[in-house]
Chain A
Amino acid sequence: MTVNGERYELLVDSRQTLLDALREGLSLYGTKEGCGNGNCGSCTVLLDDKPVDSCLVFALEADGHKVTTVEGLAKDGRLHPVQQSFMEHGSLQCGFCTPGFLVSAKALLDRNPNPTEHEVRLAIAGNLCRCTGYDKIVRAVMDAAAQGRGQRTAG
């Protein structure tokens, strides 16, 4: 499979989830296991550019597919706008859920660069955060979208 643009060949047990393969097989520890049953979204990665819960995908199913984890968001040492925005808005406390939120938010902005607040809340409905109460997260995503628009009109 291709992870963050690099091709990997992995030997996995049939029971291994994509989440386990990323963490244990490839040492990509950004993706977190929260609930392990698809409720919390901490393990969100992009599979062929679409957000999925990697705890509910067998590693074998990802054979031949493209995976993007939170480690793939920053490019050439520069944070993704949504990462930068999370920092500026203080959108994390313990930080455990943050990688999942960042991946969900990136996927949203890729397909809808101009989301309404409702659309942002819908896009992150599958990610749970027990610390921030979501408002700071929503503001960060909205702001990252606004900055993206500014950059595009400026460029």
Chain B
Amino acid sequence: MTSPTEQLAEQLSATTLLRFATAGSVDDGKSTLVGRLLHDSKSVLADQLEAVEHASRSRGQETPDLALLTDGLRAEREQGITIDVAYRYFATPRRRFILADTPGHVQYTRNMVTGASTAELAVVLVDARNGVVEQTRRHAAVAALLRVPHVVLAVNKMDLVDYAEPVFAKIAEEFTAYAASLGVPEITAIPISALAGDNVVDPSANMDWYGGPTVLEHLETVPVSHDLTGCHARLPVQYVIRPQTAEHPDYRGYAGQIAAGTFRVGESVTVLPSGRTSKVSGIDLLGRSVDVAWTPQSVTLLLEDDIDVSRGDLIVPSDDAPATTQDIEATVCHVADEPLTVGQRVLLKHTTRTVKAIVKEIPSRLTLDDLSQHPEPGRLVANDIGRVKVRTAEPLALDSYAHSRRTGSFLLIDPADGTTLAAGMAGDAFAAEDKAPAADDEGWDF
């Protein structure tokens, strides 16, 4: 038994951070799961619980409705639905968590894409009575498209199927086969009852046949990817720091957050799209000089030569530069209410660079339920996922999204009113389609 002081020391020593997203449709118990995770990990404080109890009572409900913890907007509480992604924070002695709580309602695809874009893990909920349904496949496909490294299948409502192992095993097998075919790298299936609390935070006494971790235990221990060997180093230049003061008359630093890989002092680098080269003469890590820095650190790079570098440029190792191109083929998720059409003029924001672009082709629209391709749809409407070909006014150094979520992603923006139209991922749609990397014989077009 640990003392309160020891518990406190433990809680404060939790230093790693896991960002994860939940996906589930309306009645499969997502709010209950989120509520239970927050409640059972003691992340709901007394005044919040009191507010929920008060609100529940004034609605005539006898027991506190934990969904009220997460439905923050007037309209959500009035209608009893979740209309937007919310971010929740909780901590255990082992880890801190940022949860993107994505609603399962009509606008599911764009909401889940939004939540999954920054997630390292996605929890897909399934109702044990219904098994793998269209919505489940849709969630698995979105997680695969967004290249979320870890997927948890939470088979919920096990209490309603007598906690029967064969029910769970069949669903887990079907889901795993489907997700693996999409290239999802790791799948963990957990039988739970969010309502009764089985295997969410505490192990279930009703399912002694299950030997794996609870949902929380898995969240606490899943390895977060830090394997940077083999990652292509990329620094999008955000801002040029030039103090021009008596103390620093010649300081000229290129500030940005390292999008992928590592940079070292002495390394030869190339600035794209200009193609000019230099060497890293110093790295400032927020006030401290270092020899090496890595993603996702925000740094300032100093170069040996006084070459022209500005916001929107990409600094890369000279021996590992991506090709630049004005013709981009990508998968996009359309997130706006107005459609995206062939011939439409848009802005494309890639890392720190925003350029004019035109939608040249929409070769196909993906049906997430069965992954079939609908050819030449002509346009994409809200929540559609499709392949697009875009021509940009200036060359961009894009990686494939499979290699770098950060330098392989982009936004399409309406130049008229600034609306975010679509979220783009360059290269192949699913990991399972990845071909062997093409021979690097094209160079890049300056």
Partners in one complex: no
Interface residues of B (CB under 8 A from A): none
Listed in ascending order, the chain A residues whose CB lies under 8 Å from chain B are none
